[in-house]
Structure formats: structure tokens, C-alpha cells
Structure 1
Amino acid sequence: MNATPLTIPEVILFTPKVFGDDRGFFYESFNQKIFEDAVGRPVKFVQDNHSSSVKGVLRGLHYQIKQPQGKLVRVILGEVLDVAVDLRKSSKTFGHWVSAHLSASNRHQLWVPEGFAHGFVVLSDKAEFLYKTTDYYAPQYERSLAWNDPKLSINWDFEGEPTLSSKDQFAKTLEEAETFN
């Protein structure tokens, strides 16, 4: 498995080695040692999540202001554009974002550490999205950052208006949002 830091180096793209033939394929989708060597610290995952969405659904940008979650995300059906926004005020990349295309065909995974807002938009007719988290879901601490904040200027690689949840329709801009120290 290859690990490639993105322009915000704490966000890492993992690319597995896939072995395939006429019977199908095999790949190691997670290896604790390789993962921890790449992120440079011990990480404990406590929850696995699975979501299914149709084309044009945008989920995010979500984060938990307390009990922040690191997320290791991947797609097993379809394709998404996955986005991470740095919300750590002490970081030199505060307010910057990175993105990656994740799909069933490229089998890439993205590590989004604690202190980041995370979201994705579905580019295919349907997508199934899996992710591991480092802390439990705590709805009382969940926050949403506006996907279309002009200060962020995220290129979602999507035309038209996405389908949003009611909470994401009322998400806050970076200037209004609670952030991390």
C-alpha cells in the first residue's frame, strides 16, 4: 500500500496494491502498521460507518467540535469527490482544503485527521461510502461548515446545485464556524 501526503500533509491518500485476474481481485484494504507508519502516530478506530447516496448528494462538510473524529474513508461503489478542510487555527494551512477522487475502480482511501471538516459529493449515479472513525458519533458536538463558502472556494467538480440535508442547508461559513485551536 502506498501512502501519499496531499498538499496539507496530514491528509494522506492511500493506494492499495491490487492483485487481479480473470477470477476477480484481492487487496489489503487496511493494515494498522502501514497506516500508523504513514500518519506518524498510533491511531485507534472505534466505529465503522457505511452510507449510500445518489448522484448530486453532497454530505458535509461535517466535524465534531468535541470528540473530534479522524476518518479513514473509501468508496466501494461509484465515485465521489472527497474534501477535507483544515479547521485548526494553529495550523499554517488553516482554512485550506484538499480533495481526492475516490471510487470503486481506483480503490483509493483518504485519511482525514481530527481537526478537519469532511465532506463528499457523489459524481456517479450511486455511491457507497465506508469510513472508520477514531471517536464515536456525538450529535451534540456535530457542526457543519458551508460547502459553498466563498472564502473557501472549494472546487467540487460538480455542476448544478447539490442535494443537501436540512442541517447542511444551514451550515456556517468559516468566519462563523467554531474551530479548533
Structure 2
Amino acid sequence: MSAPWLERSALHYLERYSASTEMLRRTLARRVEKRARLRGEDPAGFAEMIAATVARAVSAGLVDDVRFADMRLATLRRRGTSSRGVSAKLAAKGVPRDVVEAAMQAEREAVPEEDAAAIEDQAAQAYAKRRRLGPYRRPDQRAAYRDRDLAALARAGFSYGLARRVVDTELDEEPG
């Protein structure tokens, strides 16, 4: 294993995936560990090489946590992820908490002040539509599955009031 091999590995990964700094570090560490295990070497000896490769990727602009958080936030919102869910998923990807909070603040500032609460409403509607909950369920099954639908929205990180509003919406009201 050498620095050029590690750089090629990092570039190959970044060609295919958008990544946070921590995701790139974890991926390189996993690859080094696998290769070192096959060769009978100690993977801990390559930690500095991994850190240097990640630092070069950051300085070259190939990895940017702020850009990654903004793009991932938009994707998760379209899928119907709540604010709590977004925070958890970005934290799992290794994005620092302050970057996540800044991205969410920028999202709120991008819409008019009276529409700031609509971000969470739209996400809940998108989640309900994707999972076929509440008004998106067959009419003959809605009443029987109401509690399950509320629980699904609560597990997804939406408040009870919002979940109740989404589940009790009638299709005539054009949800979403």
C-alpha cells in the first residue's frame, strides 16, 4: 500500500459517490484494513497516510461537508424525512452538528417566514404519500390503520399534531 494507491482509491470512490469528510475517511480506513489483513500487516500504521489523503481531497475541493449537507438535506426532504431524521442521518454520515444546523437554518431562511413551518408539513405529506399512509391508503382501510399510520409518522420523527393533521386529511383537500 502506498500513497498513490490510496489516492487512486479515494478518487475512485469520489467519482461514484458524494461523500462527507468522515465518510471518505471511513471508506479509506476500511479498504486499508482489508488490504492489510490480506497481507498480514498492521492497518494502524497507515492512519497518517489516510489523514493526509483526506486532507488533500478536502483542499482540492473534492470533499466539502457543507455542500454535502446541503445536497443531502434537499434529497432527504424530497423523500419526506423529518428534521429529526435529517439530523440523525447526516450525523451518521459524519457531518458535524454545526454544519447540519447551518444547512437547516439556510433551508428555513430560503423560504418566506410564514412558510417556514410548511417545510416540515411538506416532508410529512411526502412521507405519507411514499408509504401510502392516511389519505393515500385505500378508503376502506383508512379507519382500521389510522393508529398505525400515526405511529409510522411518529417513528419518522414528526410531531403528533402534524401526524394527526396528515393522517386525517381528506383527498378532496388535495394533500401536498
Q: TM-score range by the shorter chain?
A: under 0.3
TM-score by length of 1: 0.27
Compare the two structures and name the one with the higher strand fraction: 1
TM-score by length of 2: 0.28
